[in-house]
Amino acid sequence: MSKFPKITMEDLRGYPKVKMKEEWKGSPFAEILERPLADVSQEQLDALNNGPCNPQLAMAIEDRSDLFLPGEQSVEIGYCAMPDGTGFVANRTYFPNAIPAMFDWWFNFHPLQGDRLAAWLPNAHLDCFVRDPYLHSDDSGISLATRNWNKEHFPTEGLTSLEESGVCCLRFYAPEEFGLDMHKVLASPVKAHACASVLFFGDSLIMFGEEKAKEYRAKDPDIKVPFNCFLHTVRPVVGGCELRSRFWIGKGMHHGVPYNTMPEGSDAEAVSWVMLRHTIQEMSNLASFLPEMYNLYQGRVEDISKKS
């Protein structure tokens, strides 16, 4: 049994949505913002409501390259606290009519304008920016599959709702810098992937607790502290694609080597449950419109810095 409240689709839809900004009106994503949130699967709801998975069956971050192997894993959807006090989240979402290139496109396209991130999950996403939009555009000449490597996104979002949202940093890695086994990557049925760390800084350090935030700022006012590491993999299946995601809560990555960042006394199980609730919603909602938007924009990523 779960120690957390039973969640229904009505509950997930019950959080207030982001308010429409004037500059978003007329955008194709404005219409998506007004749509009802897509349903999550019963399998996802069951994983959220039926209690944590067995930590012995959860994928340790040291085994992350195994997500590129054929077949399924012991835990495809679930959450738990790990023996070292960190957290684990697994999710799998079916994307009908999708192809792997759409995911590479989305992870370069969506951070360029706030309405795109907001449409992804309107009850928890607010805004997003990158420091150099040109490097994410087709004009950069960088291949779409590698364009995000060594880049940072700065989304404003909350894990549970807009009320507790803040600006965080998503730092994306090349597969070698994430410590992935390139033999498994290159021989894999996986045809697109993204690996990154989510880091808190400034006001968002409060997510670690008030005392810990003060301690971090005292050491370095500009510090960025990893909250989690994640790996998304995409492989074709009948009728579309399957997105399989793993989050390791309280883990950072340095030159391909993971390390612990979970503050002492943290409730890793609770944070992991909230993370699963967030990701089953955002990925299910993305699945409802990704092919539509990819086709509308013809798979292009324009350099928005050229716009007046």
CATH of the domain at 273: 3.30.530
Position 119 in a domain: no
Position 8 in a domain: no
Split into its structural domains, the chain has a count of 1
Which pLDDT value is given to residue 305? 76
Is residue 172 pLDDT above 80, yes or no? yes
Question: pLDDT tens, 65-79?
Answer: 999 999 999 999 999
- Write out the residue range of the structural domain in which residue 261 sits: 41-108+162-298
Selection from 194, 170, 189 nearest residue 72 by Cα:
189
Report, as an integer, the average pLDDT of 1-10. 88
Number of other CB atoms surrounding residue 85 within 10 Å: 16
194 vs 217: CA distance, rounded Å: 30
Q: pLDDT band at 307, cuts 50/70/90?
A: low
Report, as an integer, the average pLDDT of 230-251. 98
Is residue 2 pLDDT above 90, yes or no? no
- For residue 161, the 8-state DSSP code is -
Which pLDDT value is given to residue 209? 77
Which pLDDT value is given to residue 1? 60
Position 287 in a domain: yes
Report, as an integer, the average pLDDT of 122-131. 92
Q: pLDDT band at 276, cuts 50/70/90?
A: very high
- CA separation, residue 200 to residues 105, 138, 156, 212, 226 (Å): 25, 29, 11, 12, 6
Position 285 in a domain: yes
Selection from 133, 130, 122 nearest residue 157 by Cα:
122
Position 155 in a domain: no
Position 140 in a domain: no
Question: pLDDT tens, 277-293?
Answer: 999 999 999 999 999 99
Is residue 122 pLDDT above 60, yes or no? yes
Position 186 in a domain: yes
Q: Name, of 2-11, 153-162, 184-193, 206-215, the range with top average pLDDT.
A: 184-193
Which pLDDT value is given to residue 175? 98
Is residue 61 pLDDT above 70, yes or no? yes
Position 126 in a domain: no
% residues pLDDT > 70 (the chain): 98
- Mean pLDDT score of the chain: 94
Strand 152-157 with 125-130, pairing: antiparallel
Q: pLDDT band at 210, cuts 50/70/90?
A: confident
Which pLDDT value is given to residue 264? 85
Which pLDDT value is given to residue 161? 67
